[in-house]
Structure 1
């Protein structure tokens, strides 16, 4: 066995290219990072030499010279295990990713670091951030401003100085709950999303809280309340995953009083409930109606197809990313609030309550 067989071949450097091409290290750097500062002949010779030597520029060094990371960060509201199992979040990421590809940037997914969103922001090697559910007054906002990181929030609290992309969550929740009540349902289970890493008791504008206010408005119009434990309304909380949705369906099936409808804040939770009910002999919607929120692709594939609120997750991600790139490039028009329309999609998973005999 030859002595050099297991040796790692030395990676060529700028110094090697300079020596072989006859140009200075500064000229070599310009050839890769700012070619307008040298002649075409010099650049062609340097690039040809680099290719012959098998040189590949160090992206970290290049980004340092440009004073940019050429990446934007998407700050996940929950740990990877939950965030990446929620189709709504995945559709938001697809929208952001399409814009990153357009501008030649990478997309960095940033989960809470050591269970801390603020630690994750401190360490993020990105040129800007997109978050979900953030609100003014949070520590994370202060850190981004100290770092002078441009940012846009999706589903955050619309406020001055915080660019955001939203729908009218409270109104959407009100409308779909009113539809359920108009179908005669009074024994209802409301399945809320768990609060994300941005939320705390001092902030009243989180998505779950906005939707609860919408549900409560509808209940009040029919003489009910989401918070009156003596009535027939039951609240539950679930993570936005299929598995947790099925577990929620199991819990609902064990209630002493059989509900006639389940209203969830997430389609994937609703789909999990439907699957559990079908697997255990409950007919949807004849025995129990189910409605969701999001209109993910799976909502029209599940049988019966899901009645839900249509909020375009991919468009949210796309608009947020476009706004962020405008801010990165110095355009103040990026720092605005965008409210996009929603629709109520009526499908087969909701029907009138059966007359009791």
Structure 2
């Protein structure tokens, strides 16, 4: 059957095509009676507006884009990222917008931004001097970053990653651990050699500062880097088991990686934390459910997503932001996965 058009509705309802368009896109421009009659006619004919045509008329896509920091297979395996998405999605739903997940296109996040059919963007780990920012400015796309580097030209939602990681490492050191392995995170899609002020870099700086304040040389620990997934955490855990001098504590930058390590250690017959301690970062839901429960840094990922989305909609609606840079609090949570060594009084 032929798909009904605006012209068909106009003919059947007795109103002009312009009035029919107003009924769907700007009802305030016609009377309530006309709008009701047009919509009833449309329903009777089985008419569904073409989203592309409607968006063209409104000059909006009615969609927000979330730039995934890594390819889909890594981004969506990270519970922290999924919690951020939940926060963004709840706000999009409130405003009647869809949420478009945008991974790197042809391995290029810049190309993905060029092709994105969205009204605004939320990113993770963005810095103002990156090439992608110039593309967004050229397209006049408003944007807000999560876990980015605060800048007057870029609204952002963050915690103090360097301070949080310092606090976590200090807890580990206060528990008597000096034989350590630090597991960092691989670079995301925004990273370049010129942009070293990333979340992994800031967390590592916090760990190193705590070690330095305790008089522990950097050579006293070993460092690994992995993707932020359970599978990579298990893989790194197995590599740690092969070390000739086994550490007493594993300090990670991600809960899901820490949980992967715990699984690898358990499979090898080790007991956490009696044989080896493990700490994480994020406080995802699984952190309190795993046995032993994970010592970690609580940063509210869902709240980060919600605040970033609310800020973006304020920009879209030309409302002023109370603060362009929102730094939210974190909490270090000590649970059973961190053992206090007996030599500590």
CA distance in 2, matches of 1:182, 1:317: 33
Correspondent of 1:70 among 47, 62, 65: 62
Correspondent of 1:109 among 101, 111, 134: 101
Establish whether residue 137 from structure 1 lines up as the match of residue 125 from structure 2.
no
Query: Is the 8 Å Cα contact of residues 121 and 140 (structure 1) preserved in structure 2?
Result: yes
SS of the residue aligned with 2:225? strand
CA distance in 2, matches of 1:47, 1:213: 60
Look at both structures and tell me which one has the larger radius of gyration over its CA atoms: 1
Identify the residue that residue 12 of structure 1 maps to in structure 2. 4
Compute the RMSD of aligned alpha carbons: 1.1
Give TM-score scaled by structure 1 length. Answer: 0.94
1:197-226 per-position Cα deviation (integer Å, ceiling 9, x unaligned): 111121131000000110110111222233
User: How many pairs are equivalent?
Assistant: 343
Correspondent of 1:193 among 182, 185, 188: 185
1:268-297 per-position Cα deviation (integer Å, ceiling 9, x unaligned): 000010011111101100110000000000
Identify the residue that residue 112 of structure 2 maps to in structure 1. 120
Identify the residue that residue 4 of structure 1 maps to in structure 2. none
CA distance in 2, matches of 1:127, 1:323: 13
After superposition, residues 1-357 of structure 1 pair within 5 angstroms as: 9-226=1-218, 228=219, 231=220, 233-333=221-321, 336-353=324-341
Structure 1 runs of 4+ with >4 Å offset: none
1:315 CA displacement:
0.5
CA distance in 1, matches of 2:288, 2:149: 30
Query: Is the 8 Å Cα contact of residues 244 and 269 (structure 1) preserved in structure 2?
Result: yes
Query: Is the 8 Å Cα contact of residues 156 and 166 (structure 1) preserved in structure 2?
Result: yes
1:29-50 per-position Cα deviation (integer Å, ceiling 9, x unaligned): 1111112222222222211211
Deviates more, 1:34-43 or 1:212-221: 34-43
CA distance in 2, matches of 1:164, 1:180: 30
CA distance in 1, matches of 2:336, 2:211: 23
Query: Is the 8 Å Cα contact of residues 162 and 335 (structure 1) preserved in structure 2?
Result: no
1:354 CA displacement:
5.5
CA distance in 2, matches of 1:222, 1:163: 36
CA distance in 1, matches of 2:323, 2:99: 20
Query: Is the 8 Å Cα contact of residues 163 and 334 (structure 1) preserved in structure 2?
Result: no
CA distance in 2, matches of 1:139, 1:245: 31
Give TM-score scaled by structure 2 length. Answer: 0.97
SS of the residue aligned with 2:321? helix
1:107 CA displacement:
0.5
Query: Is the 8 Å Cα contact of residues 72 and 107 (structure 1) preserved in structure 2?
Result: yes
Any unmatched runs of 5+ in structure 1?
1-8
Any unmatched runs of 5+ in structure 2?
none
